[in-house]
């Protein structure tokens, strides 16, 4: 089994391991997921992530029960220095209210939403609010939607 994870970590080493890349990381902060340190991140497959040693990243990925995290480019990976001001503030002030929300990736239309706790993420180049200043947040009615900047969800 696995749980979703959102963490800030620094890549401190890298090596190839049976078709995957094995990154040794030093966790700096956990924003979402179980309160346990991670030390290894694996990437591989068609969405292989290429990370630089001695650089800090914000990772989302699947935290396995053995404490490893599998991250692919299909997950959200962003260098820490490239995060927007809104994203930085949202990590500590805002994204917690989105922890019950699920982001559904859409690569080609149509892309149905099947539950009120889902936000649709369109790939870049499609029309929609897909930029660095939005967050999928649970509103006062219990449904999830994209909100821009730091404005609170309407009740």
Closest CA to 107 of 87, 130, 84: 130
Interval 61-96: pLDDT, tens: 666 777 666 665 556 677 888 887 777 777 766 655
Q: How much of the chain is helix, strand and coil, in % rounded to 5?
A: 10, 45, 45
CA distance linking residue 47 with residue 37, whole number of Å: 24
Complete domains list, the chain, with CATH: 2-80 (2.40.50.120), 84-148 (3.90.370.10)
CA distance linking residue 147 with residue 153, whole number of Å: 7
* Measured CA angle at 100 (ends 69, 58), to 5 deg: 40
CA distance linking residue 71 with residue 41, whole number of Å: 7
Please state the pTM of the whole predicted model: 0.59
pLDDT of residue 127: 46
Give strand pairing partners of 62. Answer: 4, 70
pLDDT of residue 2: 45
pLDDT of residue 124: 45
Q: Which helix (H) or strand (E) holds 87?
A: helix 85-93
pLDDT of residue 1: 42
pLDDT of the chain, 155 residues: tens digit per residue: 445 667 788 989 988 877 778 888 888 887 766 666 666 666 766 666 678 899 998 877 666 777 666 665 556 677 888 887 777 777 766 655 556 777 777 777 778 788 998 888 776 444 444 555 677 778 888 888 887 765 555 54
Closest CA to 120 of 102, 139, 134, 138: 102
pLDDT of residue 129: 46
């Amino acid at each position: 089994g696995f749980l979703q994870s959102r963490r800030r970590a620094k890549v401190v080493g890298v090596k190839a391991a049976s078709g995957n890349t094995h990154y040794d990381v030093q966790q700096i902060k956990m924003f979402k997921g179980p309160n346990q340190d991670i030390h290894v991140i694996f990437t591989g497959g068609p969405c292989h992530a290429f990370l630089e040693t001695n650089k800090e990243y914000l990772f989302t990925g699947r935290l396995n029960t053995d404490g490893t995290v599998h991250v692919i480019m299909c997950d959200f990976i962003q260098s820490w220095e490239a995060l927007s001001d809104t994203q930085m503030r949202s990590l500590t002030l805002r994204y917690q209210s989105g922890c019950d929300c699920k982001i559904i990736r859409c690569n080609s239309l149509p892309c149905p939403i099947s539950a009120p706790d889902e936000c649709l993420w369109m790939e870049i180049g499609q029309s929609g609010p897909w930029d660095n200043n939005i967050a999928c947040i649970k509103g006062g009615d219990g449904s999830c939607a994209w909100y821009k900047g730091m404005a609170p969800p309407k009740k």
